């Protein structure tokens, strides 16, 4: 059988092909390294965001304590929801990672100390006044909602825009922001209670008592909520303010019955006493008493 003879290959051609093969090999290796570096960087960013979500103690605790009768600690309660909240955004895309990182940066402003004599040990720049800080924080969170509309960091930022606007006395903007937060979350989201509480506070502050009642009733109807006893106390107070003594009594009685160890029980008892005695059901005079 005749042997197949390969045609001779030009040496220059061989060199060119070898050079191309080596170049391709180098490029492939570089691509793998770049992909690995990108994946590692994204994983690190995701982990950083996770840590921020889990350890940040955020909200207007000071303001809440000063105005507890009005807003029932709705922002302080978010601190308790932090761990259950876990990772609000599933960081599976670089866009979500960026949105979450932008939210964390805005949160740094929110948590910055106030006062010229402040000496923070966490590297955060202090602000001269609280108004200055909340204005800057609101601007930062609004920036997140604009640039990353529809992503997790954006949705959560609406909650903080509401907080900041409420701090500034801009009740209309607070109502809008809280409503956008609620519209952007699922029905089973475990931070919806904070949106309803904020919405109730903003609506009451704007004079809309019925709207505040509706928001707190929505909160109480949630399957997962924090500080339901505070919401029930608020409902009792708001119903009384609205002139509906019967509903006020019902809500306060639920608080007393369901939360006997609550620190708010004493206040609920006070409000119940201020409502007067519950009406006695009328009896039919024709009915004879049971012996």
% of the chain at pLDDT higher than 90: 45
Across residues 133-160, what is the average pLDDT? 90
pLDDT digits (tens, 9 = 90+) for 257-274: 999 999 999 999 999 999
Q: With a cut of 70, say whether residue 143 has pLDDT above it.
A: yes
Using pLDDT thresholds of 50, 70 and 90, give the confidence band for residue 281.
Answer: low
Using pLDDT thresholds of 50, 70 and 90, give the confidence band for residue 125.
Answer: confident
pLDDT at 51: 38
pLDDT at 91: 36
pLDDT at 59: 37
Domains of the chain, each with CATH number or no CATH: 16-273 (1.25.40.10)
Instruction: Output helix, strand, coil percentages for the chain, rounded to the nearest 5.
Output: 65, 0, 30
How much is the mean pLDDT over the chain? 74
Q: 138 or 19, which is more confident?
A: 138
Q: 110 or 151, which is more confident?
A: 110
End-to-end CA distance of the chain: 125
Apex CA 62: angle with CA 196 and CA 176, to 5°?
30
Burial 125-152 (b: 16+ CB within 10 A, else e): eebeeeeebbbbbbebbbebbeebeebb
pLDDT digits (tens, 9 = 90+) for 8-42: 445 555 656 666 666 666 555 555 555 565 555 54
pLDDT digits (tens, 9 = 90+) for 43-95: 544 444 333 333 333 333 333 334 434 333 343 334 333 323 333 433 334 45
Are 74 and 127 in contact by the 8 Å Cβ rule? The answer is no
């Amino acid at each position: 059988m005749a042997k197949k003879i390969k045609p001779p290959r030009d040496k220059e051609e061989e060199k060119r092909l070898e050079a191309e093969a080596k170049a391709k090999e180098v490029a492939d290796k570089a691509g793998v390294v770049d992909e690995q570096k990108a994946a590692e960087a994204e994983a690190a960013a995701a982990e950083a965001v996770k840590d921020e979500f889990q350890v940040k103690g955020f909200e207007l605790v000071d303001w809440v304590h000063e105005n507890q009768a009005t807003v029932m600690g709705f922002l302080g309660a978010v601190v308790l929801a932090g761990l259950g909240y876990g990772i609000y955004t599933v960081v599976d895309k670089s866009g979500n990672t960026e949105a979450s990182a932008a939210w964390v940066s805005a949160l740094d402003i929110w948590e910055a100390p106030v006062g010229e004599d402040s000496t923070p040990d966490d590297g955060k720049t202090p602000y001269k006044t609280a108004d200055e800080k909340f204005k800057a924080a609101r601007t930062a969170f609004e920036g997140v909602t604009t640039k990353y509309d529809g992503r997790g960091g954006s949705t959560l930022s609406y909650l903080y825009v509401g907080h900041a606007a409420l701090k500034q006395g801009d009740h209309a903007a607070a109502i809008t922001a809280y409503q956008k937060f609620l519209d952007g979350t699922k029905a089973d989201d475990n931070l919806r209670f904070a949106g309803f509480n904020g919405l109730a506070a903003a609506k009451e502050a704007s004079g809309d008592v019925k709207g505040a009642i509706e928001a707190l009733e929505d909160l109480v109807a949630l399957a997962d909520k924090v500080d339901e006893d505070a919401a029930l106390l608020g409902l009792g107070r708001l119903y009384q303010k609205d002139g509906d003594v019967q509903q006020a009594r019902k809500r306060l009685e639920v608080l007393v019955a369901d939360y006997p160890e609550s620190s708010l029980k004493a206040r609920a008892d006070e409000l119940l006493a201020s409502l007067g005695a519950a009406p006695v059901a009328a009896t039919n005079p024709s009915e004879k008493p049971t012996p």
